[in-house]
Amino acid sequence: MVTLGVFIAGAGIALALNPDRYDLFGSRPATSAARPDSDRDSRNVSVTGVQTPGTPAPSTVPSATPSAGPSATPGAAPPAAAAGARPVGTVVVPESFGAVGDGRTDDTQALQRAFDSLDAGKTLVVGAGKTYRHTAVLRLKQTGSRVMGPGTILATNEAQEAIFIEADKVTLYGGLVLKVNQTTKRFDTHQSCKLRIAGRTDTLIDGITIDGAGGAGIFVGDGSSRFTIRDVRVLDTRADGIHMTNGAHDGTVIRPHVSGQGDDAVVSYADQPVICRNIVVDSPFVENQYHGRGVTVVGGDNIEYRNIRVVSSTSAGVYVAAEGNPYFTYGPRRVRILGGTVTRGNTLESVGHGAVLVFSGHQGFSADDITIDGLKIVDTPTSAPSVVGVRGSAVSNIKLTNLTISGTHPRTIAAIPAGSPVTTSGWKLDNQPFDVRRN
């Protein structure tokens, strides 16, 4: 699983046995064997790199211009992407199917009829100033469907607020707003995610806003591949901002802004058949979590975060882990956190993560080949156990290099057991070279 203020997570048994439910680490109590504190799992947003399985993460991020579609594996043609904020092909409007768009009328059936009419040659335009209310889950079932804003699709039933993408080559773009009017609790069902992508290819989510959710803001799972999530805002979700899990692979998340979420981002459970892999998250901005971690990889292979910005995470700002009972995740392997800033990581004293934590707590699974390089760590609360920590016996080939620590910080800078297979170099504390061995 990969998550970050943007997070991707999913249930192990619950997701595998019941496709209508998932666990965002809030429905089961954590134990000391599962993770190094009493914090429930809170992940945010992650992005999968775009390349074939088993290859290194790409060295460049796919084009972020509106005309660029999802990157694809060699030989696979990506779908046509949004041409700026313009519709493509035949324009369809919800009113043609009986919708009113006044924010009060129940437009559920009309919206579903409009969705069902779409194909690769049509764009449904949700116009400026329009608010289309729905009270049940909506489903995009036609290959090549396109829905653009800048209007709003408003859910008023928090238990049935989701839009399910159930076809390949679907595009949402153009300032579209997906909103729920209110949430009263955290849900663990797919129907309470705002947007769910499961088992689909070539999905493009570009320049939209998720405004509230009882579950995750964006859920990507069940082997979804070649997806691009770009320039999205995900606000005030009860669970993860962006949640990727259950074999999601070969995708990219670019410049997501996640704020006010209640959990974190990419997880691969050991009882799921395939690990999450080949994920790149570039320039994520995660802020003001009310519970959870910033950017997270909890089980995943070949995952890369670049130029992160995490502000005020209650738990670790960066968390890379293999978790044991009751979550039983895969171990993280070939994970790179390259550049960026963590400010005020681990604001909740009872959690005890520190700003950055690498952890192995699942017997038989290790945290291996983990690189965290060029990270600036600012104003870590003095109540944190350390600024940076490595815990668990099953860790190997850990590189913590060129870290710059400034502002407030606890007495312990690096909690790294003697003899651990951890390489440290190029650290600075308050602009002075810092020798971790003398910590």
Residues 6+ apart with CB under 8 A from 206: 66, 81, 82, 171, 172, 173, 174, 228, 230, 231, 232
Would strands 356-360 and 388-391 be described as parallel, antiparallel, or unpaired? parallel
Q: What is the pTM of this model?
A: 0.84
DSSP for 140-176, written as a single string: E-STT-EEE-SSEEEE--GGG--EEE-SSS-EEETT-
The pLDDT, as a whole number, for residue 49 is 26
The pLDDT, as a whole number, for residue 172 is 98
Determine which of 124-138, 268-282, 318-332, 404-418 has the lowest per-residue pLDDT on average: 268-282
Distance CA 439, CA 431 (A): 16
Does the pLDDT of residue 298 top 80, yes or no?
yes
Does the pLDDT of residue 419 top 50, yes or no?
yes
Average pLDDT over residues 317-339: 94
Rg (CA), the chain: 21
Confidence of residue 326 (pLDDT cuts 50, 70, 90): confident
Average pLDDT over residues 375-390: 98
Average pLDDT over residues 3-31: 30
The pLDDT, as a whole number, for residue 267 is 64
DSSP for 89-143, written as a single string: SEEE-GGGGT---EEEEE-HHHHHHHHHT--TTEEEE--TT-EEEESS-EEE-ST
Confidence of residue 438 (pLDDT cuts 50, 70, 90): low
The pLDDT, as a whole number, for residue 120 is 86
Average pLDDT over residues 57-62: 35
Does the pLDDT of residue 36 top 70, yes or no?
no
Does the pLDDT of residue 62 top 60, yes or no?
no
Confidence of residue 113 (pLDDT cuts 50, 70, 90): very high
Phi, psi of 15 (to 5 degrees): -75, -40
What CA–CA distances, in Å, run from 335 to 71, 310, 400? 21, 18, 12
pLDDT digits (tens, 9 = 90+) for 118-151: 988 899 999 999 999 999 999 999 999 999 999 9
Buried b or exposed e, range 284-295, using 16+ CB within 10 angstroms: bbbbebebbbbb
At position 209, the amino acid (one-letter code) is T
The answer to whether the CB of 390 falls within 8 A of the CB of 356 is: no
The pLDDT, as a whole number, for residue 22 is 37
What percentage of the chain carries pLDDT values higher than 90?
Answer: 72
